Amino acid sequence: MKNMFHVERYNKTLFYKGFFLFLLSTVILSCSAPRYAVDVSDYVLLEDGKHVMGTEKGLTAFLFQNQPTKITFNQFLVEKYDLGKFTEIEYWTTVEGTKFKMMLYTQDELNKYFDTTDFIASNRVPENAVVGSQVKFLAISVINEFNEDCLADDSLFKNTVIKYLKDLKDQYNNL
């Protein structure tokens, strides 16, 4: 008796299809643009942050690394400037004879306005060493009495404010 319906698998065809799919997926993944991360060892200025009355675009923010082994930055500011609250910190200060309003971003605001996944925090510590906050980055925007963005590229106060913010950051880091 002869088998009339003899079916044989096409192993070669399956192998070629599998190899082709593997090769195609490798080519597609290798052609995608790589993402570059920025190391925020000092600070970064980011545009289009918080909005204030009288401005069309968002404020520029001074972004820097948090120090998780220190007290929270909010607590540092409350103690340094005798502020009454730990949340939604905004305060006026005078630098070189000019009044400026400092506005600290909450973590929700930071996530709302900026994509911090493009930045690397170089000061990672184990969870059991965290004293303050576990957030990786902090941001501050600054305006003057006329609601002008003092960190914008065209601001006359940019260098003065950056120097003040760097000194403030260094004071916090050296606690």
- Does the pLDDT at position 124 exceed 80? no
Residue 147 in domain = yes
Closest to 56 in 3D by CA, of 152, 145, 127: 152
Residue 93 in domain = yes
Residue 84 in domain = yes
Mean of the pLDDT values across residues 107-130? 77
Residue 3 in domain = no
Residue 19, CA distances (Å) to 29, 31, 144, 158 in order = 15, 18, 63, 57
Mean of the pLDDT values across residues 140-167? 95
Residue 21, CA distances (Å) to 14, 87, 93 in order = 11, 53, 62
The whole domain housing 148 covers 38-173
Residue 18 in domain = no
- Give the pLDDT of residue 45: 92
Q: How many independent structural domains does the chain possess?
A: 1
Phi-psi region at 21: left, alpha or beta (left = phi > 0; alpha = psi -120 to 50): alpha
- 98: pLDDT confidence band, cut at 50, 70 and 90? very high
Query: How many Å apart are CA 88 and CA 109, to the nearest integer?
Result: 10
- 72: pLDDT confidence band, cut at 50, 70 and 90? confident
Query: How many Å apart are CA 117 and CA 97, to the nearest integer?
Result: 37
Residue 92 — φ and ψ, nearest 5°?
-95, 140
Residue 32 in domain = no
Minimum mean pLDDT range among 59-63, 91-95, 135-139, 152-156: 135-139
Residue 17 in domain = no
- Does the pLDDT at position 108 exceed 80? yes
The dihedral through the CA atoms of 102, 62, 50, 156 has a sign that is: positive
Mean of the pLDDT values across residues 99-125? 85
Q: Is the separation of the CB atoms in 121 and 56 below 8 Å?
A: no
Mean of the pLDDT values across residues 56-77? 89
Residue 90 in domain = yes
Q: Is the separation of the CB atoms in 106 and 117 below 8 Å?
A: no
Alpha-helix runs per DSSP H in the chain: 11-31, 73-81, 107-113, 158-173
pLDDT in tens, 4-57: 656 666 566 666 777 777 777 777 766 665 666 676 778 999 999 999 887 788
Contacts of 78 (CB under 8 A, 6+ apart): 84, 85, 86, 89
